[in-house]
Amino acid sequence: MAARITALHGRSAERDRLESELHRVRGGDSAVLVLRGEAGIGKTSLLEYLAERATGCRVAQVTGIESELELPFAALHQLCAPMFDLIEALPEPQQQALRVAFGHVSGAAPDKFVVGLAVLGLLAEAASKEPLVCLIDDAQWLDEASAQLLGFVARRLLAESVLMVFAVRELAAEKLLAGIPTLSLEGLADEDAAALLTDTFPGRLDRQVRDRIIAETGGNPLALLELSGQGKAELMGGFALPAVGSGSLHDHYVQRIRALPEPTRRLLLLAAADPVGDATLLWRAAQSLGLDPDAAAPAEQEQLLGGGSQVRFRHPLVRSAAYAVGSVDDRRTAHAALAAALDADTEPERQVWHLAAATTAPDDEVAAALADAAGRAESRGGVAATASFLQRSAVLTSDPGLRAERTLAAAHAHLDAGNYDTALALLAGAEADAVGDLQRARVDLMRGLTERAARSGREAPVALLRAARRLEPLDLRLARHTYLDAWGASLVAGGLAYDDGDLTTVSRAARSARLAPDDPNPGDALLEGLATLVTDGTAAAAAGLRRAVTSFLAAEVPADAFLHWGVPVANAALSLWDFEAWDSVSTRHVELARSSGALAPLANALNAHRVIALWRGDVERARDLGHEEQRVKEITGTRRVSYGDLFLLAYQGHAAEAAPLLASAADEATVRGEGLGLQITDRATALLQLGLGHYSEATAAGIRAATGSLGPFTAQALPDLVEAAVRSGATTTAEQAMDRLTSYTDVPESDWAAGLRARSRALLSNGEEAERWYTEAVERLDGTRLRFESARSRLLFGEWLRRERRRAEARGHLKDAFEEFVAMGADGFAERARHELLATGEKVRRRTSDTLNDLTPQEDQIARMARDGRTNLEIGGELYISARTVEWHLRKVFGKLGINSRRELRQALPPRRDDRRVGAGG
């Protein structure tokens, strides 16, 4: 989904055209359109967009396949097979022709005209039940028979409520699709192409490099997306050597460049070595090499190079080919010329980068300049640019100890950038160069951090604990910071770590490594609080955790420290049941990771932020964050299942979709040694089953999720276990969970903790005591932004009131809960609330977020106007459509909402979000 959204930047006119054609078909007419453009221009994405918008329509999709070019009727069979149950409605000769054509029966070769009429009749029959949208992608690869017949059908569609859209490459299928309206797709405008790159590459982009890439790709979306998946250093700062490509097209350009005069080849190499494409810089450097402007003419005549204020290669592969053609000495000469042509005062980073590229043997002066430039480069290209400078600096450093120091720094930057393999490779070099125990211990520390991010959860806690112990006699503060990293790794391992890497062992070791009381530090306070949480419980840890969270939110720590420890700080806020602090910490963590281009921390931060959005009742925000998280994971090569995905599906009650993903996540967590992953999988399973009313299954999953001690994550599982166990009759299990929950929620000033504690006590109580606890739970949680928990409390209170035969009172709470769940997209819980409402005698139809989302924007607008008492004439006059069209839309609305008349619209359509009570918002 994310790829489709990003590829549609700047396609508003094309989308409007498709929407217009779709509107015509919904009105009873037919429409045909050819989308024409080069490969990667966005044709498929527009077809996907149209399929998504075609709610209330039957969608048939066909993709031309090159390997099936010689198979007659192959594509036509793709289109018609799902509709073949309607063939009996066709005249017998047409039935026979179609059956023979598709090989269902044997017989003489059918007349293509008869087959064409049969296909036209079949499509018309399908469209008589609901509008039909036929999407034919890669039409240039249709077999000839199918292409001829589809062209025949397309030119004869008139009023069958059929929309047929072909996507075809330039100059392909010209004769077969002649006479059909065509919409030609061009490259994206510069502004839209820049937005696409920014959207798909979640890091800071260098503007000059970005502009060059846009110019060389001609704004082709696919080419831009492919380039955004290549070198992060080049995109984020331009500090990378041109990639030497491969393949037939690259080899073709290599041969063409080799055929050019020697001065032209040298000029092309010089242009390729500069990632920015600054024409002034190019000619200044060219002049120093004795190259005059005439050298560009052969390349321009061959259309390999474009001039102007920006040097532009015809294609990115031309640039890599020009660099590949040059010898090693030629490349060094080019970089040296560029370095000499740059102004050290205005472009110090670019100058030293080119100077380093021109240097082969160790050069401490250049290495020092690179190290100095690393911090400045971060402001332009983020951590990826910093990593590139530090890595090159280390290579040019002669002293082993200093080289190890710079290599460690480069490995750390690569870790933050998500280049795990590069970081691990650098650590091998740092270990070989390390001098002294402290440097060797720091190599252990970095290896543990990288293993935690990239590999199994089992080894990382042990490696980090070993590094912390090794650091204690050498650097106590760094040792304590390493214990904090080990604590986080042990939490992720969740009891699956090898040897002594469990959370309790790490917490005890951390508390024994104490600094002097007159040397306080927010990181130390955080470690002390989290370790105390595990060893002594919530009440003992609360004050220390509060100090730590307050210090981090008050900007008392540098941005890089917050970025590094954002997850444990969020865990501290979660342990305090402080939703506002949890949200604030998570928000700052995401912002810092985005602004610095630190992709590894960003993936973790986005994952946590999605869960917060769900608890706030904002499913749309959770989905958007999920798309961004997926893009980050694609860039870093991370394949693990997102916890946010698990909770989203559980929250929505999508059992069929959730089951395979939950199973896959559990298997993956086991392989990686991530006990926290198993615990969250069980929590999501319990939540899913609670929404569906499967209490025994929820209890089993809840027991697994609450086993052991994973701090705030165990605490979060206990309210669900209490509810499930009570409803399944496992009273002893519920009481034991209640006792543990009481201990975990022993924190002051938290309506979240008090509300869940009260709700759980109410479930275990009777009579007036139960009512008192339910009332407190609703009041407490209504005062928070936790819409989901507030609605759950109202549901449980309403269920209890109904069982107490207080139906009128129950209806109020159940209605509120039902409307909230529907609006939030918590469909499983919404259905549970609906059943309870039915049991009170209330008439309420099934509604889910999917049902409501099926309404197009125009349908939603018309439905709400009709709900408010407008007549068809009034609605049509305001929206510039006919009364008949209004009536047609309303019939579709009634069908989607499962109602029969206007009178039922008021109940079927929920109020908009801004009409809901403020206390439940977020």
* 24-52 per-position pLDDT tens digit: 898 888 899 999 888 778 888 899 899 98
Q: 3-class DSSP state for residue 130?
A: coil
Other CB atoms within a 10 A radius of the CB of residue 58 amount to: 18
Strand 182-184 to strand 305-306: parallel, antiparallel, or no bridges (unpaired)? unpaired
Q: What is the reported pLDDT for 260?
A: 94
Q: pLDDT, tens digit, for every residue of 645-685?
A: 899 989 888 888 888 899 999 998 888 888 999 999 999 99
Higher pLDDT: 109 or 267? It is: 267
Contact 602, 594 (CB under 8 A): yes
Return the percentage of the chain with pLDDT > 70, whole number.
86
Q: pLDDT, tens digit, for every residue of 211-256?
A: 777 777 777 777 676 555 454 555 555 566 665 555 566 777 888 8
Q: CA nearest 86: which of 50, 37, 120, 134?
A: 120
Tokens of 827: 């469909």
Q: How far apart are CA 727 and CA 917, in angstroms?
A: 30
Least confident among 70-84, 193-207, 393-407: 193-207
User: Could you give all domains of the chain from N- to C-terminal order, each with its CATH number?
Assistant: 2-184 (3.40.50.300), 190-358 (no CATH), 855-920 (1.10.10.10)
Q: What is the reported pLDDT for 6?
A: 38
For the chain, give the longest Cα–Cα distance: 97
Q: How far apart are CA 858 and CA 873, in angstroms?
A: 16
Positive or negative, the CA dihedral 439, 530, 708, 638 is: negative
The strand order across the sheet containing 182-184 reads 58-63, 132-137, 162-168, 31-36, 182-184
Q: How far apart are CA 845 and CA 194, in angstroms?
A: 46
Q: How far apart are CA 717 and CA 786, in angstroms?
A: 16
Other CB atoms within a 10 A radius of the CB of residue 69 amount to: 16
Q: How many CA atoms lie within 13 A of 369 on its CB side?
A: 18
Contact 180, 21 (CB under 8 A): no
Q: What letter does residue 59 receive in the DSSP assignment?
A: E
Q: pLDDT, tens digit, for every residue of 409-460?
A: 999 988 887 788 899 999 999 999 999 999 999 999 999 899 888 876 778 8
Alpha helices in 559-694 (DSSP H): 559-575, 579-596, 599-615, 619-636, 643-652, 655-672, 675-692
Q: pLDDT, tens digit, for every residue of 717-748?
A: 999 999 999 999 999 999 999 999 999 999 98
Q: How many residues does the chain have?
A: 922
Contact 546, 538 (CB under 8 A): no
Q: How many CA atoms lie within 13 A of 819 on its CB side?
A: 18
Contact 568, 534 (CB under 8 A): no
Q: How confident is the model at residue 848 (pLDDT cuts 50, 70, 90)?
A: low
